[in-house]
Copies of this chain bind each other. A is one copy, B any other.
């Protein structure tokens, strides 16, 4: 690995007048330059959660205090099971209680849940205020903070209520990954691994060679994983911001994964764990459709296992899986649409016979 100072430290998301940069480096939270050039405003609101607040909120508040006259803070409960309207409304309550106007800048300090919910609050408060993503989990740094998908869950489906709404900047301070629990590190690696089979076999090789370094949190390995993941995501999102086609490939493993999350109850498995296991199912579906061979499916499955992720799904029953997947956002006229590998390194979206899906579920659940 080259030293982290010599690699590019930012990735550009090119979306015309909604373009923005992803900054990736250790120590960014405390560096003044990190916050240069953001929209001017009288007030900022930091949205974080009970786990992250004691670790990083003071650092962010100090950095923002020199730039905004008032810096408010709202601390949400931690966990996917709180990604709902009640929690979202706490942000609106805070904004209105503090008299925040339509120039107020929101800062999402936390993982994917904080980022998704804060982004939707920013999209909706007074019909839209600016926001900045400050992801503190690997999963949020490599995936959820980038690309403008914001949402809350509905009891009948994950991320069903939300907006495409781009942040003004994404700040990935690699130091924040030091405090991440092992289980969440593994969950983040699921989304890193994802980019290999769908888009970049060289990156898949690299992850296989560096999985041990990633698991021991080598900062150069993490920097490369975050940067390359963001580059691939930036490329896809730049071509299809609102998921009218190509962007759906980023949901590899997510159709099965969302069913696991909803079926077990949100928060039981971490999102990344469900995606890891969902990828195993999507690999097997691709194999049964004759698109990839068993060797490739096994190779990626082995890597998922080495990352510390589950490769066998919960036994919800095939009918329950199918029912949950029919409300997936990719479904059309009741037909489930799966992201499959069209071959190693290439993905697409297809329907599949229920019988085949039942076979996959029988193989991959216990």
Tell whether, in the assembled complex, residue A157 and residue B85 are in contact, meaning their CB atoms are under 8 Å apart.
Answer: no
Q: Does A102 lie at the interface of the complex (its beta carbon under 8 Å from any beta carbon of B)? A: yes
Q: Does A180 lie at the interface of the complex (its beta carbon under 8 Å from any beta carbon of B)? A: no
Set B69, B102, B162, B243: member contacting A124, Cβ < 8 A: B162
* Stretch touching chain B among A4-12, A89-97, A196-204: A89-97
Known: A154-B92, A154-B96. A329 touches B160 (CB 8 A): no
Known: A85-B85, A161-B92. A126 touches B242 (CB 8 A): no
**Cα–Cα distance between A161 and B326 once the two chains are bound (Å):** 30
Q: Does A218 lie at the interface of the complex (its beta carbon under 8 Å from any beta carbon of B)? A: no
Question: Of all chain B residues, which has the CB nearest A332?
Answer: B101
Tell whether, in the assembled complex, residue A334 and residue B156 are in contact, meaning their CB atoms are under 8 Å apart.
Answer: no
Tell whether, in the assembled complex, residue A163 and residue B127 are in contact, meaning their CB atoms are under 8 Å apart.
Answer: yes
Tell me, rounded to whole Å, the shortest Cβ–Cβ distance linking A350 to chain B: 16
Q: Does A149 lie at the interface of the complex (its beta carbon under 8 Å from any beta carbon of B)? A: yes
Set B128, B160, B243, B333: member contacting A163, Cβ < 8 A: B128
Q: How many of these chains are in the complex?
A: 2
Question: Of all chain B residues, which has the CB nearest A161?
Answer: B124
Q: Does A356 lie at the interface of the complex (its beta carbon under 8 Å from any beta carbon of B)? A: no
Which of the four size classes fits the interface of chain A?
35 or more
Q: Does A226 lie at the interface of the complex (its beta carbon under 8 Å from any beta carbon of B)? A: no
Known: A164-B128, A242-B128. A334 touches B99 (CB 8 A): yes
Tell whether, in the assembled complex, residue B154 and residue A101 are in contact, meaning their CB atoms are under 8 Å apart.
Answer: no
Tell whether, in the assembled complex, residue A160 and residue B126 are in contact, meaning their CB atoms are under 8 Å apart.
Answer: yes
Tell me, rounded to whole Å, the shortest Cβ–Cβ distance linking A345 to chain B: 28
Q: Does A246 lie at the interface of the complex (its beta carbon under 8 Å from any beta carbon of B)? A: no
Q: Does A42 lie at the interface of the complex (its beta carbon under 8 Å from any beta carbon of B)? A: yes
Set B93, B123, B329, B333: member contacting A126, Cβ < 8 A: B329
Tell whether, in the assembled complex, residue A96 and residue B162 are in contact, meaning their CB atoms are under 8 Å apart.
Answer: no
Tell whether, in the assembled complex, residue A103 and residue B151 are in contact, meaning their CB atoms are under 8 Å apart.
Answer: no
Q: Which one of A42, A128, A151, A161 has the highest number of Cβ atoms from chain B below 10 Å of its Cβ?
A: A161
Question: Of all chain B residues, which has the CB nearest A337?
Answer: B101
> Other CB < 8 Å A-B pairs besides A92-B161, A96-B156, A128-B242, 14 of them?
A42-B333, A43-B333, A85-B85, A96-B154, A96-B327, A99-B327, A99-B331, A101-B329, A101-B331, A101-B334, A123-B163, A124-B161, A124-B162, A128-B163
